[in-house]
């Protein structure tokens, strides 16, 4: 049995601080230092890892710097920030590890106090958003998708020889083939979709169907670049992705049930590359066609 | 042997006029009244028809009303407007038909003078833009794509039972599977891509490859609605599509040669639904990565 464990922290810097371009690095530093199984996961480079550390939020806005070479992110001492740490695990004991992150930490970015705000534990079988035919996906942090997500499984062995390129528009096939593989990687075999024997073909097929079953009703999107760190030679590593929102109409009530679960997971673990450090975070809600869509 | 024939006209209203929401209707009225083979094509509802009538342009901007219920398009008497009429045909005689459109016409929208500005005749085998790896596509009139363009040919018989829904983001597969089918429909059998025997499968396969071979480098896009007329019951017919531009990087030099030809055709005949009345018109140019992309 797998649980989704999500913990919200208030993070307060003791003095004025300059944050890294991707502010989740502050939280990741603390998680890595504390170690344990969560620290191990955070440091791991495994694909589809069952963990996401969100950026620091200031009043609902994620603190991420989009302008390469622009002014750095800075926050006044004493300002309360928020962050979320989400993990899917079959071990209830992780709850203690997450709550015990409370404390005061000296980081390369300054001194911070971490307090647990709230803790949510959900059986993955109960995950769902209750979506109806029209729903809206807000990509609240930059989302990075690559066309490799829709490589037919028979060509998997040649995947490494293909260039790693990012697609800058949210194509349903890329989103849902990714999410089904994520789901089936993080849950116990008995909770896989559609069943225990699910392979990469199920993800590929769901992707293919999604480009037919989902149509955009409206959207506002823009491409963004984000500094995600430095490589071994000290050069900036920049990821290209997109931000914004899309309202979809789902033409298949059968697939809607699958999307409902996958998107519920995505609101905790994110979508696409660098989820572990808070990229690809989404909010999803049923869209009332009578409300204005321009917000 | 097939030729692309494109004629540019200056159209001047004699007095102040109120134009229809899609101003190509003025030109279409004249073409339909004049009859001949061009008029016949214009009235035909055949799919992939080899003709496109552009909207009227005022100083480079297409005259199209996007606001349903907004103020109507109006133009002062004496203002010179421009329109383009493009046809692919194997009969050189069409040139006379196009040039003989010169004259004065009374239309339901007012009285207009048509003058031929320029005429271009190109052998379709010579069509090409000389694109390099990076190129930018400007969707200058609303472009309407449906997910049916990527329906596997084996499911073609079930196509009519699927709802007709428009996709609002330009997915490479939809654009290029459409354009290959358009190309192969309008040219002589010997000029088909990849060869005389080309079927719907080639279009499907090109589409599939295009979602891998083309990645967005940057874009600015927005969904738009446009009034394309009234149905038999007098209700407004509104098409949903998108406008804006996308810069692509092409990862396959082999496919680039195909895209080069197809996009050259698209600059005359457009892409997607309602091309005949000027939707889906594009401008395409090689993109110099050193130039700014924000225009």
pLDDT in tens, A188-205: 999 999 999 999 999 999
Burial B224-245 (b: 16+ CB within 10 A, else e): bebbbeeeeeeeeeebbbbbbb
With CA atoms as reference, the chain A residue closest to B151 would be A212
Please provide the DSSP assignment of B252-295 as one string: -HHHHHHHHHHHHHHHHH-SBTTGGGTTT-EEEEE--TTS----
Encoding tokens for residue B107?
Answer: 């239309």
Torsion of CA B108, B109, B112, B118, to 10 degrees: -100
pLDDT tens for each residue of B259-273: 999 999 999 999 999
Mean pLDDT of A234-254: 93
CB contact under 8 A, A168 and B217: yes
Write down the pLDDT at residue B196: 93
pLDDT tens for each residue of B127-160: 999 999 999 999 999 999 998 899 888 888 888 8
Write down the pLDDT at residue A82: 97
CA B67 to chain centre: 21
Q: How far is CA A188 from CA A44, A58, A197, in A?
A: 20, 35, 12
CB contact under 8 A, A220 and B220: no
Rounded to a whole number, what is the distance in Å from the CA of A237 to chain B's nearest CA? 17
Cα–Cα dist A92/A96, whole Å: 8
Write down the pLDDT at residue B295: 40
User: At A294, is the pLDDT very low, low, confident or very high (cuts 50, 70, 90)?
Assistant: very low
**Structural Rg of chain B based on CA atoms:** 19
Cα–Cα dist B146/A74, whole Å: 46
- Does B116 contact A at CB distance below 8 Å? no
Count Cα atoms within 13 angstroms, Cβ side, for B33. 14
Q: How far is CA A227 from CA A69, B72, B143, B162, in A?
A: 10, 47, 34, 43
Of A167, A211, A222, the CB nearest to B150: A211
CB contact under 8 A, B215 and A167: yes
Contacts of A149 in chain B (CB under 8 A): none
Please provide the DSSP assignment of A191-242 as one string: G-SS-TT--HHHHHHHHHHHHHHEEEEEEEEEEEEEEEEE-TTSPEEEEEEE
A–B CB contacts, 8 A cutoff, strictly below: 66
Write down the pLDDT at residue A197: 92
**Structural Rg of chain A based on CA atoms:** 19
Cα–Cα dist A226/A272, whole Å: 14
Mean pLDDT of A134-160: 91
Contacts of B163 in chain A (CB under 8 A): 251
Cβ atoms B250, B259 nearer than 8 A: yes
Q: Is the pLDDT of residue A93 over 70?
A: yes
Mean pLDDT of A206-235: 91
Write down the pLDDT at residue B26: 97
- Does B147 contact A at CB distance below 8 Å? yes
Write down the pLDDT at residue B290: 59
- Does B106 contact A at CB distance below 8 Å? no
Rounded to a whole number, what is the distance in Å from the CA of B223 to chain A's nearest CA? 6
- Does A147 contact B at CB distance below 8 Å? yes
Mean pLDDT of A278-287: 95
Of B163, B171, B220, the CB nearest to A171: B171
Contacts of B162 in chain A (CB under 8 A): 212
Contacts of A167 in chain B (CB under 8 A): 215-216
Mean pLDDT of A89-96: 84
Contacts of B147 in chain A (CB under 8 A): 211-212, 215
Please provide the DSSP assignment of A110-147 as one string: EEEEEEEEEEEEEEGGG------SEEEEEEEEEE-EEG
Contacts of B211 in chain A (CB under 8 A): 147, 150, 171, 173
Of A170, A211, A223, the CB nearest to B147: A211
Write down the pLDDT at residue A292: 46
Cβ atoms A247, A134 nearer than 8 A: yes
Cα–Cα dist B90/B295, whole Å: 39
Which residues, 6 or more positions from B124, have their beta carbon under 8 angstroms from its beta carbon? Answer: B2, B3, B4, B88, B186, B187, B191, B265
Encoding tokens for residue B6?
Answer: 């494109």
Task: Please give the share of chain A, as a percent, with pLDDT higher than 90.
Answer: 78
Contacts of A170 in chain B (CB under 8 A): 169
Contacts of A220 in chain B (CB under 8 A): 222
Which residues, 6 or more positions from B161, have their beta carbon under 8 angstroms from its beta carbon? Answer: none
CB contact under 8 A, A211 and B151: no
User: At A291, is the pLDDT very low, low, confident or very high (cuts 50, 70, 90)?
Assistant: low
Question: Where do the domains of chain B lie, and which CATH numbers do they carry?
Answer: 3-124 (2.40.30.310), 127-286 (3.30.70.1900)
User: At A249, is the pLDDT very low, low, confident or very high (cuts 50, 70, 90)?
Assistant: very high
Cβ atoms B81, B12 nearer than 8 A: yes
CB contact under 8 A, A169 and B168: no
Dihedral sign of CA atoms B102, B106, B110, B111 in order? positive
In a 3-state reduction of DSSP, which class is residue B47? coil
- Does B169 contact A at CB distance below 8 Å? yes
The single residue listed with the structure tokens 């092409």 is B250
Encoding tokens for residue B46?
Answer: 């055949």
Write down the pLDDT at residue A278: 95
pLDDT tens for each residue of A102-121: 999 999 999 999 999 999 99
Of A147, A170, A212, the CB nearest to B215: A147
Please provide the DSSP assignment of B4-16 as one string: EEEEEEEEEESS-
Average model confidence (pLDDT) for chain A? Answer: 92
CB contact under 8 A, B147 and A249: no
List of chain B residues with pLDDT < 50:
292-295
Q: B165, B213, B294: best mutation site toward chain A, by most A Cβ within 10 Å?
A: B165
Encoding tokens for residue B120?
Answer: 């271009």
Q: Is the pLDDT of residue A282 over 80?
A: yes
Torsion of CA B200, B204, B210, B211, to 10 degrees: 160
């Amino acid at each position: 049995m797998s649980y989704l464990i999500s913990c919200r922290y208030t993070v307060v810097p003791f003095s004025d601080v300059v944050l890294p371009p991707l502010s989740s690095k502050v939280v990741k530093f603390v998680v890595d230092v504390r170690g344990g199984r969560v620290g191990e996961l955070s440091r791991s480079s495994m694909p589809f890892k069952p963990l996401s550390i969100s950026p620091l939020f200031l009043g609902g806005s994620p603190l991420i710097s989009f302008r390469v070479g622009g002014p750095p992110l800075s926050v006044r001492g004493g300002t309360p920030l928020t962050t979320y740490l989400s993990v899917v695990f079959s071990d209830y004991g992780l709850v203690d590890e997450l709550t015990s992150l409370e404390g005061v930490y000296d980081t390369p970015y300054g001194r911070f106090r971490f307090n647990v705000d709230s803790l949510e534990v959900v059986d993955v079988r109960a995950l769902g958003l209750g979506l109806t035919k029209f729903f809206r996906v807000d990509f609240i942090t930059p989302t990075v998708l690559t066309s490799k997500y829709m490589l037919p499984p028979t060509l998997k062995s040649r995947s490494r020889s293909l260039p790693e390129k990012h697609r800058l528009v949210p194509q349903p096939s890329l989103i849902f083939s990714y999410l089904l593989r994520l789901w089936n990687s993080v849950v116990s075999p008995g909770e896989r979709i559609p069943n225990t024997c699910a392979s990469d073909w199920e993800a590929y097929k769901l992707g293919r169907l999604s480009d037919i079953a989902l149509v955009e009703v409206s959207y506002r999107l823009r491409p963004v670049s984000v500094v995600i760190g430095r490589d071994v030679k000290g050069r900036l590593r920049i990821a290209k992705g997109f931000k914004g929102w899309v309202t979809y109409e789902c033409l298949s009530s059968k697939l809607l049930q699958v999307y409902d679960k996958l998107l519920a997971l995505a609101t905790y673990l994110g979508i696409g590359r660098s989820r572990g450090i808070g990229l690809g975070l989404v909010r999803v809600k049923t869209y009332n066609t009578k409300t204005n869509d321009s917000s």
